[in-house]
Amino acid sequence: MQKLLSYLRRGVDDYKMINENDHITVGVSGGKDSLALLYGLAKIRDFYPKKFKLSAVTLSMGYEEMNFDRVAQLCESLDVEYVLKETDIAQILFEIRKETNPCSLCAKMRRGALHDAALELGSHKVALGHHNDDALETFMLSLVYEGRVNCFSPVTYLDRKDITLIRPMLYAPESYIAGFSKRYDLPVVKNLCPADKHTKREYVKDLVKQLERENPGFKTRLFTAIEGSHAGNFGIFPE
């Protein structure tokens, strides 16, 4: 637990992610990453010097087999307001539009729905569960498929909706989060998306793992390169 809180506290403090009286909405997909983020932020809330309110939103994509009851129970135990928002995103992607490469459109639709749900709660700050490996993979995706050096920012302000996105788990490796999820029996909900595990990101994930095996320390060096020389400012790789 202390290690997770250390990763979160470092990310929050380094990039000044939390201000006094913030109302933060955690986007909870039901995956291990967002659940670990929710759990960690709920624990940090108890002692962090700046007081903040915490809510959680899950977008139901329209897969009837996915059950979020245990996620709701976790939120109740953590004293976190929980909203399960019904959407028809899956139907639009796979039945109406019959998308063969749905990931980009899906991400756009999920972002819009999550931001709207946060605003309905009176929240203008959204926390996402992206971790250290996500940053590395995003950078490699951009490099391999777009010919650009680019990565998401730890803090991103969206002026059109007056929402700030924060990624407190920026320093946490995925391997640690996976272990934490098992140790604390987090209520992970299996992703039923037909495109899951068959994406460019999955290919890049495997590529990064291979490069780390062949060149120990590669991931650490790559992250240092992403941070750049501007006092750790990801702004040199704007979103």
Mean pLDDT of all residues in 179-204:
84
pLDDT band at 96 (very low <50, low <70, confident <90, very high): confident
pLDDT digits (tens, 9 = 90+) for 123-142: 999 999 999 999 999 999 99
Mean pLDDT of all residues in 98-122:
85
CA distance 45 to 127: 14
- Tokens for 72? 């709701």
User: Quick one: CA dihedral 205, 206, 211, 214, positive or negative?
Assistant: positive
Burial 174-205 (b: 16+ CB within 10 A, else e): bebbeebbeeeebbbbeeebebeeeeeeeebb
Q: What is the pLDDT of residue 197?
A: 61
pLDDT band at 238 (very low <50, low <70, confident <90, very high): very low
Which long-range contacts link 155-160 to residues 24+ away (Cβ below 8 Å)?
155/15, 155/16, 155/17, 156/239, 158/115
- Tokens for 117? 């749900």
pLDDT greater than 60 at residue 236:
no
Q: What is the pLDDT of residue 21?
A: 96
- Cα separation values, 218 from 111, 181, 206, Å: 31, 25, 14
Percent of the chain with pLDDT over 90: 68
Token look-up 């059109």 returns 160
pLDDT greater than 80 at residue 93:
no
Least confident stretch, 26-40, 113-127, 200-214, 221-235: 221-235
CA distance 58 to 26: 9
Residue 207 class from Cβ within 10 Å (0-12 exposed, 13-18 middle, 19+ buried)?
Answer: middle
Q: What is the pLDDT of residue 63?
A: 67
First to last CA, the chain: 31
Nearest to 135 by CA among 237, 213, 41: 237
- Look over the chain and give the mean of its residue pLDDT values, rounded to a whole number: 89
This prediction's pTM: 0.89
Q: What is the pLDDT of residue 91?
A: 77
Residue 211 class from Cβ within 10 Å (0-12 exposed, 13-18 middle, 19+ buried)?
Answer: middle
> Given the DSSP bridges, would you call strands 163-166 and 155-158 parallel, antiparallel or unpaired?
antiparallel
pLDDT greater than 80 at residue 103:
no
- Tokens for 239? 């979103």
216 vs 61, residue with greater confidence: 216
CA distance 93 to 103: 9
Mean pLDDT of all residues in 226-235:
57
